[in-house]
Amino acid sequence: MALSDRKKALTLALQDSEELVKAAASRALDRLEGLERLPAISEAASSGQKPDRIRAIHFLGFLNTDKSVDRMLAFLQDPDPDIRVATVKAVQTYLPERAFVPLLGSLEDPDVSVVQSVIEALSHYRDPRVTEFLLPFLIGSNAETACVTAEGLGRNGDPKAEPYLIKVLQETSNPFLKARTAEALGNLRPDA
């Protein structure tokens, strides 16, 4: 079936009496039109004003194809930390498997806001390696990054984080970090 056939069917679905159907058809049409305009979207993500670049990066994530994800992941190396954070947020929304390893590399980013965004994004993956990569940021980081890490470890839910969270909970004097570690402990999955 040709792309034009899909578009015709979706255009007809926009006339459906159910709002749920109309909304789904609209999103699907957006994606199909984005796939047709992938080179232009990639170009917009590469140049122009920052807000336009960020929107284009998020749209590349929305498309979630091999080409769009590869293009989006290239922005993890952009000189602007805001663009790198936007890239991580776009990855976090769609969690493509091929982004996991590049995100791990971004844990070494010199900008703390990028690292914190990467910690948050990685915590959504159910990969058993996530905990081992996040633990150093719980113990050896500034309080804000440690808070983000504790929250991420709780979101990920890996029970292997328990002894580290307990240690931080018992040893830190920072009330925000204590609160985050306490919440994280409550969110860990039971030991199987």
What are the structural domains of the chain? 19-122 (1.25.10.10), 130-192 (1.25.10.10)
Alpha-carbon distance of 10 to 22, in angstroms, equals 9
Residue-wise pLDDT for 25-79, tens only, equals: 999 999 999 999 999 999 999 998 999 999 999 999 999 899 999 999 999 999 9
Q: What is the pLDDT of residue 141?
A: 81
**Residues 170, 183: contact at Cβ < 8 Å?**
no
**Residue 172's pLDDT is what?**
94
Give ∠ CA 130-87-101 in degrees, rounded to 5.
35
10 in Cβ contact with 28 (< 8 Å): yes
CA-to-CA separations, 175 to 75, 147, 178, in angstroms, rounded: 36, 10, 5
- Nearest to 77, CA basis, from 50, 44, 49, 110: 110
Q: What integer is the mean pLDDT of 127-140?
A: 92
| Percent of the residues in the chain that have a pLDDT greater than 70, as a whole number | 99
pLDDT at position 105: 96
pLDDT averaged over every residue in the chain = 93
Under 8 Å between Cβ of 50 and 20: no
Question: In this model, does residue 192 exceed pLDDT 70?
Answer: no
Q: Worst-scoring range by mean pLDDT, 91-95, 132-136, 143-147, 158-162?
A: 91-95
Q: Tens of pLDDT along 74-115?
A: 999 999 999 999 999 999 988 888 899 999 999 999 999 999
pLDDT at 97: 87
DSSP 91-158: HHHH--GGGHHHHHHGGG-S-HHHHHHHHHHHTTS--TTHHHHHHHHHHSS-HHHHHHHHHHHHHH--
* Measured distance CA(7)–CA(25) in Å, rounded: 9
Nearest residue to 101 via CA among 146, 80, 70: 70
Confidence of residue 4 (pLDDT cuts 50, 70, 90): confident
Q: Residue 5, Cα to own-chain centre: how many angstroms?
A: 33
Position 1 scores a pLDDT of 59
Q: What is the mean pLDDT of residues 170-175?
A: 95
